Structure 1
């Protein structure tokens, strides 16, 4: 089974759309991911990531819902829930 995990985009590096990367927080675990598939992504956005590649930009409510599904499936081993955006 393939699994994509939501995370919060903290920062973006690179100008070339195919080489852009971003630091993404998965409940406090920070990973560098490719942003080639989501040229519209900007810091503060939530992205859905599979094997180091952000596949889509999602809203915070959807990110929380996915984390809840993963928790119910006992698939959250090293990541916690996504950080809440300030109001």
Structure 2
């Protein structure tokens, strides 16, 4: 009987997984709410796709510079020893 319950649970989980990956529909404002105001200097209000697309500042491109060779560290004129306390 536990095998039957396990199959039922697995079938229910599969049905839930398939139901959760439904189709994509364009975003629409909730009934009774207004769209965001038109930004200053813009000719038209931004669309839902424009509002949900992250900007370059929010998602910067990755800069991958691999260190290809070891280099000897140069002399640092600001690497001074700590001052001694005259007390």
Tell me the TM-score normalised to structure 1 length: 0.18
Q: Which structure has the higher relative contact order (CA within 8 Å, separation 6+)?
A: 1
Larger helix fraction of residues = 2
- Larger CA Rg, structure 1 vs 2: 2
Larger strand fraction of residues = 1
Tell me the TM-score normalised to structure 2 length: 0.18
